[in-house]
Amino acid sequence: MRAALQSETQTPERFVSADEAARFLSVTRRYVLELARRGIAGAYAIGTGSTRKVWVFRLSELAAAIVQKNSSAPIHKIRKMCDPAHGSPR
């Protein structure tokens, strides 16, 4: 039974730098840090600095936050944007 418990425990996901998170999301490092300051899930500040913080990220949480944000748009707005009768979505 103890062996079964040990096999079920998983190694926690590692934290990555802002550079790695930016590459994962295909955006700039500056934009990732802006998202972190705005409170996106998956971003964690390290240290106690008041003016500058070091941010680390969990990629799975970033991806889930983006999927959730994009899927929370009301369906009627999406249909309207995709309907050629309404013209360009711009």
pLDDT digits (tens, 9 = 90+) for 47-86: 876 777 899 999 999 999 988 877 765 544 444 444 555 5
Helix axes 18-25, 29-38, angle to 10 degrees: 100
Give me the domains of the chain, ranges plus CATH numbers. 12-86 (1.10.10)
Q: Under DSSP, is residue 75 helix (H, G, I), strand (E, B) or coil?
A: helix
Tokens 């040990």 identify what position? 6
Q: Is the dihedral of CA 17, 22, 25, 31 positive or negative?
A: positive
DSSP sequence for 4-64: HHHHH--PPPPPB-HHHHHHHHTS-HHHHHHHHHHT-TTEEEES--SS--EEEE-HHHHHH
Q: Model confidence over 22-36: pLDDT tens digits?
A: 999 999 999 999 999
Q: Is residue 11 very low, low, confident or very high in pLDDT (cuts 50, 70, 90)?
A: confident
